[in-house]
Amino acid sequence: MRRFLHQSSTALAMTAFTLLLGCEAMENGEVASQRLLKGHAFHGEGEYVDLASSTIARPFNQPTIGTSDALNDYLWNNSVRALIVSRGDEVVLESYTGEHDETTLWNMHGISTTMIATTVGAAIKEGKIQSADEYVSLHLPAYGGSGLTWRHLLTMTPNLKYRETPFSPVSQTARLFTDDDFSDLVEEPEFSTALQPGDEFQYSSLTAQIMAEGLEAIYDAPIERIVTNEVWFPMRSELAAKWSISEEDRQARAGYGLYMTSRDMWRLGRFLATDVKHQVDPEFLAEMQGPVAGRGRFFKRTESRLLSEDWGYGFGTWFVKFPMNGKLVAGYGSIGFGGQTILNVPAYDMTIAVMAQVPPKGGRAAFFQSILEYALNQEG
C-alpha cells in the first residue's frame, strides 16, 4: 500500500538476513508455512526493517532468586526457551534453556498486534482518530459502507470473510506471513453476509494488518516508524528489533515477524502495566486491562468450542483468570500463536514474559499459576 513513500533505489536499499527457521519470501509457501512453528529465534533471510533501541533503557536488575533443576526441567518439558518474572520493576527470576540467552531475538507473532492496538490508542489521545467508534473508512476508503469502526478492529470483531489458519500453506494467513505482495487482502476486503460488525470474535492477523495500514494513512508514515515512536521508545527498549516486511511494497507484516529480545519483551509488559497510561487515555486503558479494571468480559462456552471461559479479549489484549491461593486472580497482556506470552497480574504486582516453541502442555493458565507459585514460594 504505502502510497506515502517516495521510493528510490537509495530509499529502498535494505540489508538481507538469513532466516533459517521461519517463513520468508525466498521459500515457497508450503515450506514457509510448515516452518512457522519449528522455531522462533531470528537467524534470518528475507527483508527486514530495524526498530532502533531507545536512548535510555528501562533498568534490568540481577534476579533476586535462583532457578532449580526442577524449574529448568519444567521449562524444558514445556518447550520454554526464556522466562522472566518481576514484582513491579524488580526482576525476581530469569531463566533460559538451550542455546538461547538475553540477546536472542524472538519472533513475537501476535504480540505485535497489541503494540499496534496501543498505537491506535495513542492516535485517539492525539486527536488523529476521534474515538474508537470512528469509521475506519474515513482513512481507508475501501471499507466505505462496511460499518467497520476502530472498536471492531481493536476487539477482533469485524465481519471479515477470513479465518486465522497459519498451518495451511495456501491460506490467507500464510499469504500475510510469506507473500511478497499481500496488499489485495487489505485493499479488496471480503465481508461475511451472515454477520454484522461486532457479532463475533475471530482473532485475525488480517485485522491487525488493517489497523496498521489505517494508522499509516493517518500518520503518513510506515507502521514501524509509528510503533517505534508511540510504543518502542516509550517502553524504553534496550536492543534494536527487526520487523519482517514484504519485498514488493515494503509493508511490515503487522501480525507476524517482529523480533525482539526476551528482556525487551518484559519491558513491553512493564510498559503495559505502567507507562502506557501516558500514551492512551483512561477509557482506552481500561478496555486494555479488561476485568482487572472492571471492563471487558471472559468468553462464554456457548460462543465457540475453540474459546476457553478462562480467557477474554479487550482492546488488543488478552485476559486470563486462574486460581491462586484459593481464589481466582485475573491478568492481562499479549500472546502469540506459539508460546510467546506477556502477562501482568496486578493482584501480585507481577509481570511474566515467556518465549517458547509451542504453548505449554497443560495450557497457559496452568503454566502461569505454576510459575507464580514458584516465584512467590522462593521469595518466602
The answer on pLDDT for 37 being more than 50 is: no
* 26 contacts: CB under 8 Å, gap ≥ 6: 45, 46
Percent of the residues in the chain that have a pLDDT greater than 90, as a whole number: 71
Looking at the chain, which runs of residues are DSSP E strands?
16-18, 45-51, 80-87, 90-96, 106-107, 241-244, 258-260, 311-313, 318-324, 327-335, 341-345, 350-356
Residues 75-130 pLDDT 10s: 999 999 999 999 999 999 999 998 889 999 999 999 999 999 999 999 999 999 99
The residue extents of the domains of the chain are 16-379
Smallest Cα–Cα separation from 351: which of 282, 250, 268, 289? 268
Please give the Cα distance from 241 to 128 (Å, whole number).
26
The answer on pLDDT for 379 being more than 90 is: no
Burial class (CB in 10 A: 0-12, 13-18, 19+), 263: buried
Q: Quick one: pLDDT at residue 211? A: 98
Please give the Cα distance from 139 to 134 (Å, whole number).
10
The answer on pLDDT for 287 being more than 50 is: yes
* 117 contacts: CB under 8 Å, gap ≥ 6: 154, 211, 288, 315, 316, 317
Burial class (CB in 10 A: 0-12, 13-18, 19+), 127: exposed
Arithmetic mean of pLDDT over the chain: 87
- Strand 327-335 relative to strand 341-345: parallel, antiparallel, unpaired? antiparallel
| C-alpha cell read off for 12 | 529502498
Confidence of residue 173 (pLDDT cuts 50, 70, 90): confident
Q: Quick one: pLDDT at residue 42? A: 67
198: left (phi over 0), alpha (psi -120 to 50) or beta: left
Question: What's the pTM?
Answer: 0.89
List, in sequence order, every residue forming a beta bridge with 354; answer none if it has no partner: 83, 341
Residues 175-222 pLDDT 10s: 888 888 999 999 999 999 999 999 999 999 999 999 999 999 999 999
> For the domain 16-379, what is the CATH superfamily, name and number?
DD-peptidase/beta-lactamase superfamily (3.40.710.10)
**Of residues 323 and 40, which shows the higher confidence score?**
323
The answer on pLDDT for 30 being more than 50 is: no
Cα 112 to the center of its chain, rounded Å: 3
- Residues 5, 14: contact at Cβ < 8 Å? no
